[in-house]
């Protein structure tokens, strides 16, 4: 029989939810967004290093926007 999962009831913002949501949304929404942005702007990305650098630069901005959005969403929807 598996051990029961512990539960917690955070006061204020649930930072674990914010981090998990940020990770999932950044991967699910951010990856296609970055690919479409590279295609739409016509940026020349001939090597894997150029592609990785572009993805890191744009991905950091996507991550920041998603993290702030998740944080403010959680803060606004507290019980």
Hey, what are 69's tokens?
Answer: 């959005």
Q: Which domain holds residue 21?
A: 15-76
Give the pLDDT score at 27: 94
pLDDT tens string 28-42: 999 999 999 999 999
| Structural domain count of the chain | 1
What pLDDT is recorded for position 79? Answer: 62
Kindly state whether residue 9 falls inside one of the protein's structural domains.
Answer: no
Evaluate if pTM is beyond 0.75. yes
Among the listed ranges 9-13, 25-29, 41-45, 70-74, which one has the minimum average pLDDT value?
9-13
Q: Domain for residue 21, yes or no?
A: yes
Average pLDDT, the chain: 90
Helix (H, G, I), strand (E, B) or coil at 50: helix
Pick the closest to residue 50 from 64, 38, 67 (CA basis).
38
């Amino acid at each position: 029989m598996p051990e029961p999962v512990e539960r917690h009831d955070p006061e204020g913002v649930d930072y674990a939810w914010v981090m998990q949501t940020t990770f999932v949304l950044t991967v699910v929404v951010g990856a296609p967004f970055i690919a479409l942005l590279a295609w739409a702007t016509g940026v020349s990305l001939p090597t894997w290093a150029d592609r990785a650098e572009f993805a890191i630069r744009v991905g950091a901005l996507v991550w920041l926007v998603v993290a702030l959005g998740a944080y403010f969403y959680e803060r606004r929807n507290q019980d």
